[in-house]
């Protein structure tokens, strides 16, 4: 056996072994990474191992068996089929690499069957006439070499279009191996175009199989590196995404509070070294909750995103803006030369925010209240700078909104107290710190107490009794008003029903409703449940809403009012006249009572204007067939005026201030005690 032939056999067996190793590597990677193309590449190199091994065996047996011997024919058939299957699976894997997903199994099975049949046909044609050796070489070797070369070129181009990881070498190695294998096949074809050339270069052509081995190993190693680099990049992307979630607001994409404090800490470090000033601006959107309550949370989210975009475009490149939560934002202004610079930035922000915003085809106008704190003038730590800016913002709110205020030390004390109050408010209900006081509602005709208005008080452990005007706005803002309102309703119904069971059967409970409660989807079922638990008849519960709430109410709020009326619950409009709305609009609401606000009662009967307004409201009530109640009666002459005008009921300090349940009980069950408190009123009624 000639040396070139031996070398050819060795080269083919080396290729077969290298293909087995490569297929093993691809299979392991497929089980780990589940990439569609790896499955077909595993089969492709497995087929190559069979092709090279069967081809080497056929060449080795050529010395003992003729070309048409069954054993050589069988080996040639196996090698031919495997060789073309290698091409099919290589192209399938390459296509899957390009498109990022696998082909349907039925389609690939048909393609593989056709290619296997093609390989078998070419082998049979090769064995049909052994004398035509040149044609047979072309059919068996040249055609396949050309097809493999084209397949490797296509694979290299597909890999070249794959996403490139920064400074990644794995993809480049795989691509180079593919182009190298393609060049190897075409190089072999050029050097084997004629029998004479093949004989002259037989030793060199046989040695090319070892080059294939090197390229197979380079391909396998490159693919391992490529996938490991992708895995590392995926881990880095996941870490970056986690960091994004941890330090950025999901709605606006702005930094969150934690990242802002980190940035502020770094800014303070540079400010101390550079001896320059920085500013923190704290923004809170005015009346944002009205947008949320009236248009829904989707509109509120769209509004916040627009505001975030405007703030980002308003600040300087070196400044930063963050969303602290809800409708609160903060701006960090670097290297402020003077307080006036921060004030100028605040004015630009206020102007940007108040420009009209269109949400779902509706034009909205939103303003912002803004507080300014400066380092080192006002504070020197990130937390204190944010707190002082927040305190200044509260001052801006108190000054009328839509303005900016610079922090002043005396403001900080009040704001910090407010923050502490807000924190304690969340635990007031669970710590049993809420109490109800009651103010009687008196019939003008009989002088009897016909109802009691339940008024909430907060028995603070350190500050004592806190009036609702101080904490109800906080409860509205934080959402605590809903559980608090539920507690008030249940407690008042229980107390009034207990008094009714002891003989005060004419007594009704008057309870105030907040706008949040009125718009709550479960309001009616909740009221019905409380009435059933306490035993209070629905007609002896009167729910009061202010005129301003009534005029803003629509949709669910109006539906709730009508449903409550359908249950038999009474509805009352409180503070009538303070909302500056058309009284004719009250006909749209299912009301039982109108309450004349104390501001129109105070001037009666001395003020002609107040007297005329009060008389007109009473006449309106009589016309509409609703009960009219005068609140804030403090003097006998006031009571005499309203009795004369046929006002149905009244309440006020003339009888008693809001008192505890025990003190109210003394009035209810001790007529002499009530008469002693109200001698002038008794004469006026008489």
The answer to whether the Cα torsion of 465, 471, 475, 476 is positive or negative is positive
Do residues 30 and 82 both lie within one domain? Answer: yes
The more confident residue out of 460 and 549 is: 460
Within a 10 A sphere around the Cβ of 483, how many other Cβ atoms?
A: 13
Question: Looking at the domain assignment, is residue 465 inside a domain?
Answer: no
pLDDT at 170: 81
What pLDDT does residue 582 have? Answer: 44
pLDDT at residue 675, rounded to an integer = 62
CATH classification at residue 98: 1.20.1070.10
Q: What percent of the chain stands above pLDDT 90?
A: 28
The whole-number average pLDDT for the span 75-91 is 83
Q: What is the rounded distance in angstroms from the CA atom of residue 444 to the CA atom of residue 400?
A: 40
Cβ neighbours, 10 Å, residue 529: 13
Helix (H, G, I), strand (E, B) or coil at 179: helix
Over its C-alpha atoms, the chain yields an Rg (Å, rounded) of 44
Domain that holds residue 116: 3-241
User: Is residue 669 situated within a structural domain?
Assistant: yes
209 and 278 co-located in one domain: no
Strands 320-325 and 328-336: antiparallel
The pLDDT value given to residue 348: 94
What's the CATH number where 283 sits?
A: 3.30.70.270
Per-residue confidence at 163, pLDDT binned at 50, 70, 90? Answer: low
Predicted local distance difference test score (pLDDT) of residue 588:
61
Q: Out of 356, 378, 407, pick the residue that ends a domain.
A: 407
Same domain, 508 and 620: yes
* Confidence band for 51, pLDDT divided at 50, 70 and 90: confident
Q: What average pLDDT does the structure give for the chain?
A: 82
For residues 493 and 397, membership in a common domain is answered with: no
The answer to whether residue 249 sits within a structural domain is no
Do 190 and 293 sit in the same domain of this protein?
Answer: no
Confidence of residue 514 (pLDDT cuts 50, 70, 90): confident
Residue 459 lies in a domain: no
8 A C-beta contact, residue 536 and residue 509: yes
Whether residue 307 contacts residue 284, with contact meaning beta carbons closer than 8 Å, is answered with: no
Kindly state whether residue 159 falls inside one of the protein's structural domains.
yes
Rounded to whole angstroms, the Cα distance separating 475 from 591 reads 26
Confidence label for 579 from pLDDT (cuts 50, 70 and 90): very low
Reduce the DSSP state of residue 327 to 3 states and report it.
Answer: coil
User: Does one domain contain both 111 and 232?
Assistant: yes
DSSP states along 283-314: EEETTHHHHHHHH-HHHHHHHHHHHHHHHHHH
Alpha-carbon span 208 to 628, nearest angstrom:
108
Whether 88 and 235 map to the same domain: the answer is yes
Residue 246 belongs to some domain of the structure: no
pLDDT at residue 249 tops 80: yes
Q: DSSP secondary-structure letter at 139?
A: I
Over the stretch 265-303, which tens digit does the pLDDT of each residue have? 999 999 998 888 999 999 999 878 777 767 778 888 899
Task: Supply the pLDDT for residue 243.
Answer: 66
Q: What distance in Å separates the CA atoms of residue 280 and residue 269, rounded to the nearest whole number? A: 15
Does residue 428 fall inside a structural domain?
no
Judgement on whether residues 396 and 513 belong to the same structural domain of the protein: no
**pLDDT value, residue 48:** 84
Domain count, the chain: 3
**674 Cβ contact list (under 8 Å, min separation 6):** 449, 655, 667
Residues 581 and 496 in one domain: yes
Q: Are residues 53 and 184 in the same domain?
A: yes
Place of tokens 């944002």: 288
Question: Taking 70 as the threshold, does the pLDDT of residue 73 lie above it?
Answer: yes
Task: State mean pLDDT over 581-605.
Answer: 75
Of 21-25, 101-105, 199-203, 566-570, which range is least confident?
199-203
The answer to whether 484 touches 429, Cβ cutoff 8 Å, is yes
Q: What is the DSSP letter of 269?
A: H
Contact (CB, 8 A) for 141 and 192: yes
What pLDDT, on a 0 to 100 scale, did the predictor assign at position 189?
80
Q: What is the mean pLDDT of residues 519-548?
A: 89
Strand pairing of 277-285 and 328-336?
antiparallel
Residues 542 and 679 reside in one and the same domain: yes
- Per-residue model confidence (pLDDT) at position 584: 47
Per-residue pLDDT, 464: 87
Query: Do residue 212 and residue 333 come from a single domain?
Result: no
Residue-level pLDDT at 409: 75
What is each CA distance from 425 to 432, 468, 472, 476, 514, in whole angstroms?
11, 12, 10, 11, 17
Question: What is the reported pLDDT for 550?
Answer: 60
Burial of 69 (0-12, 13-18, 19+ CB in 10 A): middle
In this structure, is residue 505 part of a structural domain? yes
- Show which of 380, 407, 434 is a domain's final residue: 407
The alpha-helical segments, DSSP class H, found in 162-201 are: 170-191, 195-200
Q: State which of 373, 407, 441 marks the end of a domain.
A: 407
Greater confidence (390 vs 164) lies with 390
Q: Which tens digits make up the pLDDT trace of 143-153?
A: 777 887 888 88
CA–CA dist 91, 240 (Å, integer): 36
Q: How many CB atoms lie within 10 A of CB 388?
A: 28
Q: What are phi and psi of 232, to 5 degrees?
A: -65, -40
């Amino acid at each position: 056996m000639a040396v070139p032939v031996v070398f050819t056999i060795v080269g083919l067996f080396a290729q077969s072994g290298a293909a087995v190793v490569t297929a093993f590597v691809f299979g392991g990677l497929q089980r780990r990474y589940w990439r569609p193309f790896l499955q077909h590449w595993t089969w492709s190199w497995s087929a190559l191992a069979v092709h090279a091994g069967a081809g080497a065996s056929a060449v080795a047996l050529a010395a003992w068996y003729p070309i048409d011997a069954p054993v050589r024919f069988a080996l040639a058939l196996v090698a031919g089929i495997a060789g073309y299957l290698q091409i099919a699976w290589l192209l399938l894997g390459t296509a899957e690499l390009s498109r990022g997903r696998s082909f349907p199994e039925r389609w690939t099975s048909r393609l593989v069957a056709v290619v296997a049949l093609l390989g078998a046909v070419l082998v049979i044609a090769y064995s049909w006439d052994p004398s035509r050796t040149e044609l047979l070489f072309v059919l068996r070797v040249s055609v396949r070499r050309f097809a493999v070369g084209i397949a490797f070129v296509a694979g290299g181009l597909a890999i070249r279009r794959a996403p490139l990881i920064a400074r990644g070498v794995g993809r480049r190695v795989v691509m180079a191996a593919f182009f190298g294998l393609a060049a190897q096949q075409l190089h072999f074809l050029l050097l084997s175009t004629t029998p004479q050339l093949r004989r002259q270069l037989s030793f060199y052509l046989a040695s090319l199989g070892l080059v294939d081995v090197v390229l197979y190993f380079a391909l396998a190693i490159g693919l391992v590196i490529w996938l490991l680099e992708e895995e590392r990049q995926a881990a880095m992307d996941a870490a970056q995404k986690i960091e994004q979630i941890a330090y950025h607001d999901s709605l606006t994409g702005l930094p969150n509070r934690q990242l802002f404090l980190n940035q502020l800490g770094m800014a303070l470090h540079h400010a101390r070294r550079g001896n320059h000033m920085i500013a923190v601006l704290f923004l809170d959107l005015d009346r944002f909750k009205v947008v949320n309550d009236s248009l829904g949370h989707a509109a509120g989210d769209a509004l916040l995103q627009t505001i975030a975009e405007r703030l980002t475009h308003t600040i300087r490149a070196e400044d930063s803006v963050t969303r602290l939560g809800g409708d609160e934002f903060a701006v960090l202004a670097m290297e402020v030369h003077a307080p006036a610079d921060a004030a100028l930035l605040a004015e630009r922000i206020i102007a940007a925010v108040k420009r009209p915003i269109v949400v779902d085809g509706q034009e909205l106008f939103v303003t912002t209240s803004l507080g300014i704190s400066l380092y080192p003038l006002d504070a020197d730590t990130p937390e204190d700078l944010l707190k002082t800016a927040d305190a200044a913002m509260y001052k801006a709110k108190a000054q009328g909104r839509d303005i900016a205020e610079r922090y002043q030390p005396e403001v900080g004390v009040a704001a910090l107290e407010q923050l502490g109050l807000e924190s304690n408010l969340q635990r007031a209900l669970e710590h049993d710190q809420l109490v109800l006081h009651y103010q009687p509602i008196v019939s003008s005709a009989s002088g009897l107490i016909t109802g009691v208005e339940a008024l909430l008080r907060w028995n603070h452990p350190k500050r004592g009794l806190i009036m609702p005007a101080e904490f109800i706005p906080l409860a509205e803002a934080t959402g605590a008003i809903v559980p608090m309102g539920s507690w008030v309703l249940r407690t008042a119904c229980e107390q009034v029903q207990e008094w009714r069971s002891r003989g005060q059967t004419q007594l009704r409970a008057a309870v105030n409703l907040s706008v949040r409660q009125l718009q709550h989807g479960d309001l009616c079922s909740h009221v019905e449940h409380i009435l059933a638990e306490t035993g209070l008849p629905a007609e002896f519960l009167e729910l009061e809403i202010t005129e301003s709430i009534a005029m803003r109410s629509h949709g669910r709020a109006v539906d709730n009012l009508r449903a409550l009326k359908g249950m038999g619950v009474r509805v009352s409009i409180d503070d009538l006249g303070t909302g500056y709305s058309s009284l004719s609009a009250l006909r749209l609401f299912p009301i039982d009572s109108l309450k004349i606000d104390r501001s129109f009662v105070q001037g009666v009967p001395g003020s002609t204007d107040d007297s005329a307004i009060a008389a007109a409201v009473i006449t309106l009530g009589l016309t509409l067939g609703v009960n009219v109640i005068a609140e804030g009666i403090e003097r006998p002459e006031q009571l005499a005026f309203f009795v004369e005008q046929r006002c149905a009921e009244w309440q006020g300090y003339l009888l008693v201030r809001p008192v505890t349940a025990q003190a109210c009980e003394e009035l209810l069950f001790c007529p002499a005690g009530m008469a002693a408190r109200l001698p002038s009123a008794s004469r006026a009624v008489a």
